[in-house]
Amino acid sequence: MFRYDFMDKTLLLLLVITVCVFSSSAQLSVGFYGRTCPRVESIVKRVALDKFKQAPTSAAATVRLFFHDCFVEGCDASVTLASTPANRAEKDADINKSLAGDAFDSVMKAKKAVEAECPGVVSCADVLAILTRDFVGLTGGPTWQVKKGRRDGRISRAEAATANLPGAEFSVNQLLKNFATKGLNLVDLVSLSGAHTFGFAHCDQFSSRLYNFSSSNRMDPTMSSSFASDLKKSCPIRGGNPNLVEPFDPVTPFEFDNAYYKNLLAGRGLVTSDQELYSDRRTRKLVRLFSKKRQRFFNAFADAMDKMGSIGVKTGTSGEIRRDCSRIN
C-alpha cells in the first residue's frame, strides 16, 4: 500500500513550488524588450557605472536588495515599495532596515533613465535584475544573460519579509529548508552565499558570536581568535556606534572574488550562517571547492542568480509596470 506520510507531503509541496517557479519563468526571455525598449540594458548599465563611481558600496547593496526582493512575494520589486499609513511595507521590516539607501537610489535612477526613453514599458523588477547583474560584473564577478518580462507586484508587507528571509544566525538545516521553499538547492545556497565576498554587515548581525554565543561559550569557537579580537575593537560589548559596519571580507571588500570561501576555511566568516557552511559536512565540500576554483564559483553563482531571478515572477497580465518604483500606479 502507498504510504503518504509527512515526507511525501513535503516532497509534493516542493514539487508544486518548483513547477510554479519554472512555469512562470518560462515566460521570461532575454530579448523581451527587443522591440519595445531595445536599449534598456545599455541604459541601466550606464546608470550602474555612474553610481558605482560615486558609491562603490552600491554594488553589494543592490545584490542584497535583489535577494531580499526575490525571497518575498517573488522577484517583483515589492521590496522597493514605500510604506503607507495603512500598510507597513517590506523595506521597513526589522530584517530589512539595514538595506542600504544606495541600493534603492540605484533602482530609482535606473528606472528614471529607462522611463525617459521607454515610458511605461520596463518593470522595476527587471530594472533591479539587470542592475544586479551589472554591479556584479563591475566588481570583477561573473556575468549572465538576464531573462526579462517580470511585472511589478502591488503587495508589500513587512510581516512577509520577516517570515520568508533567512536570518544571520541560521543553521545549515534552517537555510536548506528556507531555500527549498523557493525551489533552490544546496548548490544554490552555497554559491549565492558567496555574494558575501563583498559588502558589509552591522555589528548587531554578528556581535552575539563575540560576547554571548552560548551558555558554555561566550565566543563562537568556530571563529578565529585573531578575527574576533579585531571585530571587538570596532564592535564593543557596550556603547559603540550602532551604525558602524564591518566588511564580510576585510581584504577585498569591494571586489567580487572567491575570498569569502577562503575566509570560511580560516574561521573568518562574519555571521553565523556564513561560518556554518564550513562547519556542516553537507556544504563543506563545496566551500573548499569554491575556495580553490574561482571560475567554478563564478559559474555556479551565475546559474543560481538566473534561477533565483525566476522565483515567483509575475508575467502576462499579473501585477503592473510601475511608473515610480516606490509606489503602485
Between 252 and 244, the more confident residue is 252
Beta strands in the chain (DSSP E): 200-202, 245-247
Check pLDDT > 90 for residue 203: no
What is residue 79's three-state secondary structure?
Answer: helix
CB 131 within 8 A of CB 47: yes
| Number of CB atoms found within 10 A of residue 134's CB | 25
Tell me 94's DSSP state.
G
Per-residue pLDDT tens over the stretch 119-169? 999 999 999 999 999 999 999 999 999 999 999 999 999 999 999 999 999
Q: What does the pLDDT average to over 285-304?
A: 98
Residue 99 main-chain phi, psi, to 5 deg: -60, 130
Superfamily holding 172-306: Peroxidase, domain 2 (1.10.420.10)
Between 205 and 265, the more confident residue is 265
Whole-number average pLDDT of the chain: 91
- pLDDT for 24 equals 52
* DSSP of 174-186: HHHHHHHTTT--H
Cα–Cα distances (Å) from 254 to 37, 97, 170, 248, 259, in that order, read: 31, 21, 25, 10, 11
Check pLDDT > 80 for residue 16: no
What is the spatial distance between Cα 86 and Cα 138, in angstroms, rounded to a whole number? 39
CB 315 within 8 A of CB 28: yes
Check pLDDT > 60 for residue 297: yes
pLDDT band at 248, cuts 50/70/90? very high
Look up residue 185 and give its three cell numbers.
538547492
- pLDDT for 287 equals 98
Residue 68 annotated among the catalytic residues of the structure: yes
pLDDT band at 240, cuts 50/70/90? low
Look up residue 55 and give its three cell numbers.
558609491
What is the spatial distance between Cα 70 and Cα 61, in angstroms, rounded to a whole number? 14
Q: What does the pLDDT average to over 262-278?
A: 95
Tell me 165's DSSP state.
S
- pLDDT for 7 equals 41
What is the spatial distance between Cα 223 and Cα 266, in angstroms, rounded to a whole number? 8
> Which residue is catalytic, options 45, 64, 68, 322?
68
Look up residue 256 and give its three cell numbers.
567580487
pLDDT band at 184, cuts 50/70/90? very high
- pLDDT for 22 equals 46
- pLDDT for 265 equals 96
CB 212 within 8 A of CB 169: no
What angle is formed at CA 304 by the lines to CA 303 and CA 305, rounded to 5 degrees? 95
- pLDDT for 322 equals 97
Between 302 and 98, the more confident residue is 302
Check pLDDT > 90 for residue 211: no
pLDDT band at 12, cuts 50/70/90? very low
Class of domain 22-165: mainly alpha
Per-residue pLDDT tens over the stretch 65-92? 999 999 999 999 999 999 999 999 999 9
Per-residue pLDDT tens over the stretch 48-63? 999 999 999 999 999 9
Check pLDDT > 50 for residue 180: yes
The domain limits of the chain are 22-165, 172-306
- pLDDT for 2 equals 34
